Amino acid sequence: MAMKTKILIADDHAMVRQGIASFLRMSDEFEVVGEAADGVEAIEAVKRTRPDIVLMDISMPRLGGLEATLEIRKDHPDVKVLVLTQYEDTVYIRRFFKAGASGYLPKKAVGEDLLTAIRAIREGRTYIHPSIASGVMDGYLGITKGETVEDPYDSLTDREKQVLKLIAEGHTHKEAADILNISVKTVIAHQTNISEKLKIHSRAGLIKFAIAKGIIQLG
């Protein structure tokens, strides 16, 4: 008997996690090894459960899906990430694939499409749902033609991206340090580097940048 594919579900809505878990447990192919309500929990759960694939939401408290994906892919390159989200903007998609995600699936397309995506990723292929594939291709063609301007967000390191999200969400330096398990001094140093790279020297300016870039969501 083939070994089951181990799945970790990261989403801040318990009912969504439970619904996906129940659906996957209907198949003998998959084993749900854990759940996470935010990016920090997802990172810790990957260390603890060693899944084959993480189903990753984008917008979550503390660290979001992108920030968690950056760290998971860096520390556990064998773990694949399938983004499962309501956001279909090509900017999000490009960032996640650049961060090392293997697939991108709109939540409205779950069901058999979710199984198709997991199977594709398990076999080493990249999965993009047909409903967003054309937009991704248009964005890729624009990049190859040199039509896009370099995104200043891309100049930030993985850790700086994590700090930016936390600071923009209103966390204190101490809270950000505790979440990331680093010192307050290091958080402040990262914020200084972020401000220099983005040429934004106020918290209000960083919040405005984060909202404009979709790093944090209003409401």
Closest CA to 89 of 2, 195, 217: 217
What is the value of pTM for the model shown?
A: 0.83
Q: CATH 1.10.10.10 region(s) of the chain?
A: 152-212
Residue 179 amino acid letter: I
The backbone torsions φ and ψ at residue 124, rounded to the nearest 5 degrees and listed phi first, read 90, 10
The pLDDT value recorded for residue 141 is 44
The pLDDT value recorded for residue 132 is 75
Q: How far apart are the first and last CA of the chain?
A: 47
Collapsing DSSP states into helix, strand and coil, what is residue 113? helix
The pLDDT value recorded for residue 149 is 53
Spans of the chain below 50 pLDDT = 141-144
Judge contact between 8 and 24, C-beta under 8 A. Answer: no
Q: How many degrees, rounded to 5, is the angle at CA 153 between CA 152 and CA 158?
A: 135
Residue 44 amino acid letter: E
The pLDDT value recorded for residue 138 is 55
The CATH number fitting domain 152-212, selected from 1.10.10.10, 1.10.3660.10, 3.90.79.10, 3.40.50.720 = 1.10.10.10
Judge contact between 35 and 146, C-beta under 8 A. Answer: no
Secondary structure tally for the chain: helices H, strands E: 10, 6
Query: DSSP state, 80?
Result: E
Q: CATH 3.40.50.2300 region(s) of the chain?
A: 5-144
Q: How far apart are CA 174 and CA 100, in angstroms?
A: 29
* CATH hierarchy code of domain 5-144: 3.40.50.2300
